[in-house]
């Protein structure tokens, strides 16, 4: 192991790691809203709207993220969809994770006992008030934990955007290997950085989970 | 309270109510009137439709045919759609207190918040006044010391008493009890019955679905035996429980009183 080299390339990898974090956070942020939209669409009485949401989720879950990324980045321009690499990574990441996240959100909402809804409605609360005051506080803990798992998936998925030449952690590692011919050192270092990022995320999730657990008995 | 004046004024009117779940017709044309300040108990074997009937009054079950009126206002409104019906039913429900077999207290809220949530959010009652109201109600069900405790720390009987207080907080015109003591250990039934008894003494209009034959006999003004989605027999409780006319009622009571 060439430790001097490892120390030398660390600043470059740390910088690239920020791109990884940046892409992941933005994907998670937009993905959350898309996921909420998908949950909402599935509550429609009008069946075709529900089918659209279910269909979208099936297609996204039924195809590899890698293929989705390549399709949008290389196929998109043919239909006028030109995205720069980072935007493409964020957008595809968001739309991808939203499919999984909508299922996680729906599952956590459905895990709340139906008697809770009946009790709330019987007091005269409307659907939205019931959701906000009764259902969400009780499903928050489970929701946080499931979304946290997806955040970790998202961070690891972000290594795939290296294929469309976004200079994130994995692409930077490959570049450095191209000039130093030391894959063991550099990939070890980049793997270690992923571990740090992911453990930090897990810590945040755990704290949020414990906070939310105060309000739940599930 | 002005209960003397309109003693025979109908509070809940159930008229020719039909309800099916798929091919199974669980209510086959039920009629019942509960007058102001009166207590009506519905008994019957499980699957008889008695809980469905009670839930229909609160529109937790949507009836297929017939009418249900609360204090002269029609509860089911097949002519109303979407948000218009939402507003209508939310308003109606604020006048009905419902108590469930499994309490359905909100586990993420303290006892007092369970009680005050609806007055605060729906009646825009200031928190301080809501808390006073909540404490008064907790006092009434004998649980003032449990105000800031979460429901999980309460026994079944205590939970049900809080649930009754929660329903009372909206000052409902009627109280609906859906097997309020069925999920309780036998030794906890009495404390809930006592609270219901005290409501009876205050002339609260009540519709009670119950398995507690003794309690139903003692507090009710009227008793109804249902089986297979029809009313088999209804009369004064003293008669229904000691000397019913119908054989089905006799069989049911014999089984129930022996077990």
B117 touches chain A (CB under 8 A): yes
A125: which 2 tokens?
């609360």
**pLDDT interval class at A77 (50, 70, 90):** very high
Each residue of B68-118: pLDDT tens digit? 999 999 999 989 988 899 999 999 999 999 999 999 999 999 999 999 999
Q: What is the pLDDT of residue B7?
A: 60
pLDDT of residue B257: 74
Q: Mind listing the pLDDT tens digit for each residue in A132-169?
A: 999 999 999 899 999 999 999 999 999 999 999 899 89
- What residue of B is the nearest CA neighbor of A140? B108
| Span A43-66, average pLDDT | 95
CB B135 within 8 A of CB B144: yes
Handedness of CA A62, A64, A67, A72 (dihedral sign): positive
How many angstroms separate the CA atoms of A41 and A29, rounded? Answer: 19
What's the pLDDT tens digit per position in B133-173?
999 999 999 999 999 999 999 999 999 999 999 999 999 99
Residue numbers in A near B93 (CB within 8 A): 121-124
pLDDT of residue A4: 87
CATH 3.40.50.300 fits B10-258, yes or no: yes
The ipTM (two decimal places) reads: 0.90
pLDDT digits over B170-185, tens only? 999 999 999 999 989 9
| pLDDT confidence of residue A1 | 77
* Of the partner residues B100, B105, B121, the one whose CB lies closest to the CB of residue A118: B100
A217 vs A116, higher pLDDT: A116
Given phi > 0 = left and psi -120 to 50 = alpha, else beta, which region is B43?
A: beta
Confidence of residue A213 (pLDDT cuts 50, 70, 90): confident
Instruction: Tell me what pLDDT residue A215 has.
Output: 61
The pLDDT > 70 percentage for chain A reads: 98
The closest of A116, A96, A109 to A143, measured between CA atoms, is A109
B12-49 pLDDT, tens digit per residue, is 999 999 999 999 999 999 999 999 999 999 999 988 99
In B, which residues are within 8 Å of A119 by CB distance? 98, 100, 104-106, 163
The yes-or-no verdict on residue B5 having pLDDT over 60 is no
Q: Which of A9, A55, A24, A6 is nearest to A168 (CA)?
A: A24
Query: Measured between alpha carbons, how far is B53 from B224 in angstroms, rounded to an integer?
Result: 12
Superfamily covering domain A3-215: MetI-like (1.10.3720.10)
Residue B2 pLDDT: 45
Task: Record the tokens describing residue A48, joined without a space.
Answer: 């075709």
Per-residue model confidence as pLDDT tens digits over B194-245:
999 999 999 999 999 998 898 999 999 999 999 999 999 999 999 999 899 9
Q: Is the pLDDT of residue A170 over 50?
A: yes
* pLDDT score of B82: 85
Q: Compute CA distances A160 → A154, A164, B196, whole Å.
A: 10, 8, 65
pLDDT at B259: 53
C-alpha separations of B244 from A27, B221, B223 in Å? 70, 16, 11
Q: Using pLDDT thresholds of 50, 70 and 90, give the confidence band for residue A106.
A: very high
Chain B residues with CB under 8 Å of A215 CB are: 107-108
Contact yes or no for A70/A6 (Cβ under 8 A): no
| Mean pLDDT, chain A, whole residue set | 92
B102 and A115 within 8 Å at the Cβ level: the answer is yes
Q: Where are the domains of chain B?
A: 10-258
């Amino acid at each position: 192991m060439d430790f001097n080299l490892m120390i030398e390339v660390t600043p470059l990898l740390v910088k690239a790691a920020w791109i990884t974090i940046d892409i992941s956070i933005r994907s998670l942020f937009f993905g959350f809203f898309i996921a909420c939209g998908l949950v909402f669409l599935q509550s429609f009485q009008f069946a075709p709207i529900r089918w659209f949401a279910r269909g979208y989720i099936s297609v996204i879950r039924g195809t590899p993220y890698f293929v989705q990324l390549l399709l949008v980045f290389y196929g998109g321009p043919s239909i006028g969809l030109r995205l720069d690499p980072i935007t493409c990574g964020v957008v595809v990441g968001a739309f991808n994770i939203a499919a999984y996240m909508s299922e996680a959100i729906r599952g956590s909402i459905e895990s709340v006992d139906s008697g809770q809804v009946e009790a709330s409605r019987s007091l005269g609360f409307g659907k939205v008030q019931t959701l906000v005051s009764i259902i969400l506080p009780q499903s928050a803990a489970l929701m946080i934990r499931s979304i946290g798992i997806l955040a970790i998936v998202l961070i690891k998925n972000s290594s795939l955007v290296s294929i469309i030449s976004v200079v994130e952690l994995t692409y930077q590692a490959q570049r450095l290997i191209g000039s130093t011919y030391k894959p063991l050192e550099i990939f070890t270092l980049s793997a270690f950085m992923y571990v740090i990022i992911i453990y930090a995320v897990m810590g945040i999730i755990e704290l949020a989970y414990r906070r939310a657990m105060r309000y739940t008995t599930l | 309270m002005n209960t003397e004046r309109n003693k025979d004024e109908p509070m809940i009117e159930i008229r020719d109510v039909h309800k099916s779940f798929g091919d199974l017709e669980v209510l086959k044309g039920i009629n019942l009137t509960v007058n102001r300040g009166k207590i009506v108990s519905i008994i019957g074997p499980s699957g008889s439709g008695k809980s469905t009937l009670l839930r229909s009054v609160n529109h937790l079950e949507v009836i297929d045919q017939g009418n249900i009126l609360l204090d002269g206002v029609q509860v089911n409104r097949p002519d109303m759609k979407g948000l218009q019906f939402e507003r209508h039913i939310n308003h109606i429900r604020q006048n009905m207190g419902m108590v469930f077999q499994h309490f359905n207290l909100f586990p993420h809220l303290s006892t007092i918040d369970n009680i005050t949530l609806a007055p605060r959010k729906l009646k825009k009652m200031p928190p301080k006044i809501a808390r006073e109201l909540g404490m008064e109600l907790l006092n009434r069900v004998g649980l003032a010391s449990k105000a800031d405790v979460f429901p999980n720390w309460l026994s079944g009987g205590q939970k049900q008493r809080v649930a009754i207080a929660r329903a009372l907080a909206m000052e409902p015109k009627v109280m609906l009890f859906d097997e309020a003591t069925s999920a309780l250990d036998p030794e906890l039934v009495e404390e809930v019955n006592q609270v219901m008894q005290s409501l009876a003494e205050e002339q609260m209009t009540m519709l009670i679905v119950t398995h507690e034959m003794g309690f139903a006999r003692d507090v009710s003004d009227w008793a109804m035996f249902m089986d297979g989605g029809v009313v088999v027999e209804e009369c004064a409780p003293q008669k229904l429980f000691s000397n019913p006319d119908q054989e089905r009622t006799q069989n049911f009571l014999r089984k129930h009183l022996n077990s």
